[in-house]
Structure 1
Amino acid sequence: MKPPRPSPFLVVVLFVATLAGHFTLSRAGFTIPFLNDVRMLLFPAVLAVFVLEVNHAGVRPLHSAPARRSLPPVLVLFGYQMLSAAWVPRTAVVGDVLADLVSMVVLVLVYASLAEWDRDRVVRLTMGCLYVAGWLYFLYAASGRGRVQQDRWTAFGGGPNVFVRVEALALFATAYFYFRRGRAVWLIAAPAFLFGAIASGSRGGLIALVLTTALAFPSLVRFGRRHGVRKPLAMIPVIAALIWLLLGDTIMSLINNRFLAATVDQGYTSDRDVLYTKGLWLFFERPIVGVGVHGFYAVTNLGPGEKYVHNLPLAVAVEGGAVGLLLLLPALWAPRHEYAAVPRARRPLEARVSAYSALFILGASLFSGDYYDARLLWIFLLLAAVPASPPLPLHAGAASRPGARRPP
């Protein structure tokens, strides 16, 4: 009998809880504070299913050396950020930020535990969820709903910078399933997801996508030499032409208005120059421990649309000071070190796609988003770093249960 594995239900619920972000139920008329946050519904469900499955399998999570080396630096960073609420200005409202950080602790703990249990299965299901999400977001925006200023594409209440991340990760999922199965049918979605990413108008997200693709290009070439690329290269232009006939005018209008006129001609930066200047000024004012979480908004008061710096390392420096930066470095380095410790020829496809996904989110986080918007960075880093290992039994009796693994 095969040992029990994480159920698709658990991984799907965990993915939905991760993707939901700051989505609220106000559209349905449910406006009770705190309970309005969908995380109040999804996270208890995630934890309940996770505990039940671990207990049923009779395993002890987070026992392997890669998990013990990769996860603690990430948790220490989150813990320090929560601690920094003790020295924020009096006008700072830290409740939402603390809820975000606690949510990220839950997410990385569960994902790291599942990676130990069966990393390949978890990555495969997560990529499947991203593939479906990419289509849902694309079709929602292509239908004409969710458009914002300059006709930029969005979906389900998230902004364009969220939209580009979903479409880009769905593009990675498309490549993953094609590489894994070798069937060109998976590439049908690639032009749609790429057009969706462009239609978001997110310059930072597109820069991150280009850089990640450039770094992954040698791997793409090696795969093409082994498996041939004539069929996919012949299919992609046909699909791209069809989408262009349907949406080409919209995309060209966005490129002309957003990328050429606004960015090149007018030098429009979405106030990033102002945010970065203010952030550096605050860092030099409080260089050791920073101004605390949400302290940037409390001090600068630049308006409700500019609550954070839109740059992850700078945000950590501003609100956590040099101490925060010193904790950020090992949080990023430890998972990367575990990933690099595996020889390149032995790295499975699941580890590679997780690493490239993390790299993309890191690049996008240099231009947009708050701490919670970077949650997929930490999740994919841990999925890349923590290979599956035989689970240890919770107790001696667990090893004798049907389907339970014995310790190595």
Structure 2
Amino acid sequence: MTAPALVPPARPGVVIYLAFFAALAGRFVLTRVGLEVPLLNDVRVPLYIGLMLCILLESHRIGPRAATGGYCLLPIMGLFGYQLLSAVWAPSHAVTGPMSADIVAVAFLVFVYYVLARWDSDHVTRVTLECCHIAAWVYFLAASTGRGHAPGGRWAALGGGPNVFVRVMILGVITSLYLYVRSGDKLRWLIGIPAFLFGAVASGSRGGMAALAITGVIALIAIRPRPRWERIARPAGLLVLLSLMVIVTAGPMIAGFVQSRFIEATVGQGYTSDRDVLFAWALRLFWQHPLLGTGINGFHAIADLGEGERYVHNLPLSVAAEGGFVGMFLLGLAWFTLWHAYLRAQRRRPCLSARTAAYCGIFIGATSLFSGDYFDARLMWILLVLAAIRTASPRAGPASAP
């Protein structure tokens, strides 16, 4: 008598796409498109409500699945909880409400992806990376029309600034390589790389390009690739040909911008967009309040550098200034736990999707050294959680590392 076949639990469906859209949309407000709707003006309100309802409605479909790495969520939530608690000792004139709402929003998104990863990590990670690739094409095509560009001709699209645009472009580059390897070296997946790199340069984001270099170095050290020239000759030739076509056709359009932004301003004049001033202020506040920091939004309240400089544009320094040694310890513990969970998962069952999500998360983390606030680091936490949590997959055989 044969044993009955095990029916695998249902996979998450539309909730993955809604979660990605909610994470990518960020703080988009309807006033950017000329609408004014009280309460729903911030798109996070309806999106998060809809996402919560989807999770609740599909919760009965989640079958019993063994998962590893779930412990990485605890220090992340501990960091967010501590940041919210720091409003207690923030300066009396600090406006803590909006930043507290941002941290709650990040915590909600991270928890949603934690639930989805424990449901079916392979499927959720794979679909999320595919969504990143699609988003890169949408952003690039929208920016190529000339709409949404930032002052000075810097490329941007769909209401986001150049620093958001460059993140989406480089995620498109990484996911292009992922889809190429996953497909068995089908060259069509590499077509977008020259376009995405062009968009990244056209954004004028020096921090984004530096983050790409940091991520590339980390990947080369971790993978230690052994080049096989017969395998890389065709994709390398295609990329060189496509890059030359992009440079010849679109290069003159931004040549002057690249000359002024990257060479004259950065190298010749040492222009840093006041990052040196922000970093110096953050270190000063850290040494003045070394244990607990100034409290949430204390940097803006004490430094008072104007509305244009409300945050440090560096995640570790921001945590140090507003959270002190305790905040830095929690941040370091969160990163270490994610790294430990990822290594354990890769040793047990190597997974190309998880490794790609890890590099995408590292890239977003590297950009957080040069731009953005706490909320802008949300994709870093999401992608690293997807890389760290693995569920047993009854459908697939043993996976092989790239």
Tell me the TM-score normalised to structure 1 length.
0.90
Asked if residue 245 in structure 1 is aligned to residue 248 in structure 2, the reply is: yes
Distance 1:95 1:350, change over 3 A: same
Check if 1:208 corresponds to 2:214: no
Q: Is the 8 A contact 2:90 2:297 kept in 1?
A: yes
Task: State the partner residue of 2:132.
Answer: 130
Does the CA-based 8 Å contact 1:131-1:170 persist in structure 2?
Answer: yes
Amino acid at match of 2:284: W
1:158-237 map, 5 Å: 158-181=160-183, 182-217=185-220, 222=225, 225=228, 228-237=231-240
Q: Counterpart of 1:399?
A: none
Point out where structure 1 has 5 or more consecutive residues left out of the alignment.
Answer: 392-408
Alignment correspondent of 2:154: 152
**1:329 and 2:332 aligned:** yes
Give the partner amino acid of 1:119. Answer: S
**Residue 388 in structure 1 maps to residue 391 in structure 2:** yes
Structure 2 residue 310 is the aligned partner of structure 1 residue 311: no
1:367 aligns with 2:370: yes
Cα distance in 2 for residues equivalent to 1:227 and 1:308: 49
Please list every run of 5 or more consecutive structure 2 residues that lacks an aligned counterpart in the other structure.
1-5, 395-402
Q: Is the 2:155–2:202 contact (alpha carbons within 8 Å) kept by the matching residues of 1?
A: yes
Q: Which residue of 2 aligns with 1:10?
A: 15
1:332 Cα deviation after fit: 0.7
Answer with 117-126 or 238-247: which moved more: 238-247
1:179/1:345 CA distance change after superposition, 3 Å: farther
Q: Which moved more, 1:342-351 or 1:103-112?
A: 342-351
**Shift in Å, 1:214:** 2.4
- Contact residue 12 and residue 119 of structure 2 kept, 8 A: no
How many Å separate the matches in 2 of 1:345 and 1:326? Answer: 28
State which drifts further: 249-258 or 216-225: 216-225
1:231-271 CA-partner distances (Å, limit 9, x unpaired): 21121122222222331013322220111010011110000
State the AA in 1 paired with 2:191. I
- 1:27 matches 2:32: yes
Is the 1:81–1:292 Cα contact (8 Å) retained in structure 2? yes
> Taking structure 1 as reference, are residues 17 and 343 closer, same or farther at Cα in structure 2, changes over 3 Å only?
closer
Match of 2:99 in 1: 97
> Corresponding residue for 1:48?
53
Shift of 1:34: 4.2
Q: Cα 1:114–1:223, aligned 2, differ >3 Å: closer, same or farther?
A: farther
The question of whether the paired residues in 1 share the 8 Å contact of 2:67 and 2:390 is answered with no
| Separation in 2, partners of 1:328, 1:197 | 28
Deviations 1:49-73 (A, max 9, x none): 112112133558xx74510x21000
1:76 and 1:327 in contact (8 A); partners too:
yes
- Name the CA distance, whole Å, in 2 between partners of 1:349 and 1:197: 25
Partner Cα distance (2:31, 2:346) in 1: 49
* Alpha-carbon offset, residue 390 of structure 1: 7.0
Contact 1:117 1:389 in 2 (8 A): no
Q: Report if the CA contact (8 A) 2:173-2:197 is conserved.
A: yes
Deviates more, 1:328-337 or 1:2-11: 2-11
Match of 1:396 in 2: none
Compared CA separation, residues 94 and 30, structure 1 to 2 (3 A):
farther
Q: Which residue of 1 aligns with 2:74?
A: 72
How far did 1:133 drift? 0.8
Q: Percent identity?
A: 46
How far has the Cα of 1:211 moved from its partner?
1.7
Equivalent runs, 1:234-313 vs 2, <5 Å:
234-313=237-316
**TM-score normalised by structure 2 residue count:** 0.91
Give the drift of 1:115: 1.4
Whether the aligned pair in 2 keeps the contact of 1:361 and 1:377 (CA below 8 Å) is yes
* Alignment CA distance shift 1:291-1:218 (3 Å): closer
**In 1, are the aligned partners of 2:20 and 2:131 still within 8 Å (CA)?**
yes
Q: CA deviation at 1:143?
A: 1.3
Worse-matched range after superposition: 365-374 or 140-149: 140-149
Q: Structure 1 residues 374 and 343, CA, compared in 2 at 3 Å: closer, same or farther?
A: closer
Matched length: 389
Are 1:57 and 2:59 an aligned pair? Answer: no
Name the amino acid aligned to 1:284.
W
Tell me, yes or no, if the aligned pair for 2:86 and 2:296 is still in contact at 8 Å: yes
Give CA deviations for 1:199-234 in whole Å, capped at 9, x if unaligned.
Answer: 111111101101212222367774863981222112
The two structures, once aligned, show a CA RMSD in angstroms of 2.2
User: Cα offset for 1:135?
Assistant: 0.9
Supply the distance in 1 between the matched residues of 2:39 and 2:87 (Cα, whole angstroms).
19
